[in-house]
Structure 1
Amino acid sequence: MRATIHVSAAVVVSDDARTLVVRKRGARVFQQPGGKPDPGEDALAAVVREVAEETGIVAAPGDFVPLGRFTDAAANEPGHEVVADAFLLRVGPAEATASGEIEELRWLTEDDVPDTPLANLSRNHLIRFAWR
């Protein structure tokens, strides 16, 4: 059995139908903003904090819509699986800034997805929620 990593992740969608993905320092693939909850922190509190830390987008907990829990092979930890509590966050004219452990961020259209290197969890489960 593979080791499990629990995270919270946000599918951030701008009002012009683009979705935000981030690439962590040292990673080769992009994924939704998010990360591991701190001790005692629930999934919603973690995603609110992580989105603000990684992108500078500050949103209230009530702005996040739960999407469910998804599991796939971890992108940056070989031999691990990631279990993500995922949320949808719609934002207006979006401005984001890569900060903390984020080396690069991109706003993607649906047409950009096939040519963008994405983590398994993003490609197989989360990215589709941006255009529903």
Structure 2
Amino acid sequence: MNNVLKVSAVCLYDLNGRLLTVRKHGTSKFMHPGGKPEAGESAAQAGSRELAEEIGVRVDATSLELMGVWTGTAANESNTDIEATVFTAPGTWDASGIEAAAEIAELRWMDVADASNFDDLAPLLTEYVLPRLGR
């Protein structure tokens, strides 16, 4: 039996409709910005906090729109599944004003229609989120 890690993740789009993916230091898979909730924190509060910490984007937790909750294989931790609560941030964002911070090594804005061209996406993205987006 695998360990289960609860995380919150947020879909964020730029002015051209591209989805932001991030790669954390020491990993090879791109995923949504996000992370584990702290004690007493709701999934939306965790998503909001993680956006601020990882990419400097401030979004009120109450404005995040729930996309879904899924359990899948963790991208970067062996023998671990994730229970991911995925949100969409409101509006669109200027990609030039967003920079990697904290544990984020790299940002990549991805046209969702081109997602099948990438072999370095986290399972949560490929198995759950992208199919929901019609890709």
TM-score normalised by length of structure 1: 0.91
What are the ranges of 5 or more consecutive residues in structure 2 without an aligned counterpart?
none
Amino acid at match of 2:45: A
| 1:113 counterpart residue number | 115
Matches within 5 A, 1:1-132: 1-94=1-94, 95-116=97-118, 117-129=120-132
**Sequence identity of aligned pairs in percent?**
35
Deviation, structure 1 residue 131? 6.5
Deviation, structure 1 residue 115? 2.4
Deviation, structure 1 residue 7? 0.2
| SS state at 1:91 partner | coil
Deviation, structure 1 residue 10? 0.5
TM-score normalised by length of structure 2: 0.89
Provide the rounded CA distance (Å) in 1 between the counterparts of 2:127 and 2:20. 16
Deviation, structure 1 residue 93? 3.8
What are the ranges of 5 or more consecutive residues in structure 1 without an aligned counterpart?
none
Aligned residue pairs: how many?
132
Amino acid at match of 1:108: M
> CA contact under 8 A between 2:13 and 2:93: conserved in structure 1?
no
> CA contact under 8 A between 2:13 and 2:19: conserved in structure 1?
yes
**Alpha carbons of 1:16 and 1:59: their partners in 2 closer, same or farther (altered >3 Å)?**
same
> CA contact under 8 A between 1:11 and 1:32: conserved in structure 2?
yes
**Alpha carbons of 1:51 and 1:8: their partners in 2 closer, same or farther (altered >3 Å)?**
same
Structure in which a larger fraction of residues adopt strand: 1
Amino acid at match of 1:63: S
| SS state at 2:121 partner | coil
Instruction: Give per-residue Cα distances to partners, 1:95-128, cap 9 Å, x unaligned.
Output: 3110000000111112331222101011111234
Amino acid at match of 2:79: G
